[in-house]
Structure 1
Amino acid sequence: MKPEMENSIKPFVIVTPRLIIIPTPTAVSINSYRSLYSSLHANVAFCEMAFGHHFPPRTWTDEETRDVIQTRDIERCWGRRDLGDFAVALLPSAFQTDSCMELSIVKGGICERLFNQIGLDDLQWVGYAGVRDATTTSLPPREAADPALPPWQEMIEVRYGISPEFWGQGLAKEAARAIMQWSVDEKGVRRFIAETERGNSRSGKLLQKLGFTPSGTDYWKEPSEIEWECPKSHLH
Structure 2
Amino acid sequence: MASVMEKSFEPLVLITPRLIIIPTPTAVSLSSYRALYSSLHANAAFCEMAFGHHFPPRTWSDDETREVIQTRDIQRCWERRDLGDFAVALLPAAFQTDPCKELCIIKGPDCDQMLNQICLEELQWVGYAGVRDATTTSLPPREAADPALPPWQEMIEVRYGVSPQFWGQGLATEAAKAVMQWSVDERGVKRFIAETERENTRSAKVLQKFGFTPSGTDYWKEPTEIEWECTKLRLY
Q: Give the equivalent residue in structure 1 for 2:212.
A: 212
Please tell me whether the aligned partners of residues 5 and 26 of structure 1 are also in contact (alpha carbons under 8 angstroms). no
Q: Give the equivalent residue in structure 2 for 1:127.
A: 127
5+ residue gaps in structure 1?
Answer: none
Please tell me whether the aligned partners of residues 129 and 160 of structure 2 are also in contact (alpha carbons under 8 angstroms). yes
Greater CA drift, 40-49 or 101-110: 101-110
Greater CA drift, 97-106 or 190-199: 97-106
Instruction: Give 3-state SS (helix, strand or coil) of 1:111's partner.
Output: helix
Q: How does 1:58-73 map to 2 (within 5 A)?
A: 58-73=58-73
Instruction: Tell me the distance in 2 between the aligned counterparts of 1:164 and 1:94.
Output: 26
Please tell me whether the aligned partners of residues 15 and 100 of structure 2 are also in contact (alpha carbons under 8 angstroms). no
How far does the alpha carbon of each residue in 1:187-212 deviate from its partner, in whole angstroms, 9 at most, with x for none? 11000000011111011001000000
TM-score (norm 1): 0.95
- After TM superposition, which residue ranges in structure 1, 4 or more long, deviate above 6 angstroms? none
Q: Return the letter of the residue paired with 1:87.
A: A
Instruction: Tell me the distance in 1 between the aligned counterparts of 2:36 and 2:45.
Output: 15
Q: How does 1:75-154 map to 2 (within 5 A)?
A: 75-96=75-96, 99=99, 101-154=101-154
Q: Give the drift of 1:74.
A: 0.1
Please tell me whether the aligned partners of residues 153 and 190 of structure 1 are also in contact (alpha carbons under 8 angstroms). yes
Greater CA drift, 151-160 or 50-59: 50-59
Please tell me whether the aligned partners of residues 6 and 26 of structure 1 are also in contact (alpha carbons under 8 angstroms). no
CA 6–99 in structure 1, closer or farther in 2 if over 3 Å, else same: farther
Please tell me whether the aligned partners of residues 181 and 233 of structure 2 are also in contact (alpha carbons under 8 angstroms). no
- Say whether 1:226 aligns with 2:214: no
- Name the % identity: 80
Instruction: Give 3-state SS (helix, strand or coil) of 1:232's partner.
Output: coil
Q: Return the letter of the residue paired with 2:26.
A: T
Q: Over the residues paired in the alignment, what is the CA RMSD in angstroms?
A: 1.6
CA 68–173 in structure 1, closer or farther in 2 if over 3 Å, else same: same
TM-score (norm 2): 0.95
Instruction: Tell me the distance in 1 between the aligned counterparts of 2:160 and 2:90.
Output: 15
- Say whether 1:47 aligns with 2:47: yes
Instruction: Tell me the distance in 1 between the aligned counterparts of 2:10 and 2:115.
Output: 14
Q: Give the drift of 1:104.
A: 0.7
Q: Give the drift of 1:234.
A: 6.9
Q: Give the drift of 1:99.
A: 4.4
Please tell me whether the aligned partners of residues 212 and 234 of structure 1 are also in contact (alpha carbons under 8 angstroms). no
Greater CA drift, 36-45 or 9-18: 9-18
Instruction: Tell me the distance in 1 between the aligned counterparts of 2:203 and 2:89.
Output: 20
Instruction: Tell me the distance in 1 between the aligned counterparts of 2:163 and 2:29.
Output: 20
Q: Give the drift of 1:94.
A: 2.0
How far does the alpha carbon of each residue in 1:107-135 deviate from its partner, in whole angstroms, 9 at most, with x for none? 12222222221210000000000000000
Q: Give the drift of 1:37.
A: 0.2
Q: How does 1:158-197 map to 2 (within 5 A)?
A: 158-197=158-197
Instruction: Tell me the distance in 2 between the aligned counterparts of 1:112 and 1:145.
Output: 49
How far does the alpha carbon of each residue in 1:132-189 deviate from its partner, in whole angstroms, 9 at most, with x for none? 0000000000001100000000000000000000000010000000111100000110
Instruction: Tell me the distance in 2 between the aligned counterparts of 1:84 and 1:190.
Output: 16
Q: Give the drift of 1:93.
A: 1.6
Instruction: Tell me the distance in 2 between the aligned counterparts of 1:232 and 1:22.
Output: 23
CA 226–29 in structure 1, closer or farther in 2 if over 3 Å, else same: same
Please tell me whether the aligned partners of residues 7 and 25 of structure 1 are also in contact (alpha carbons under 8 angstroms). no
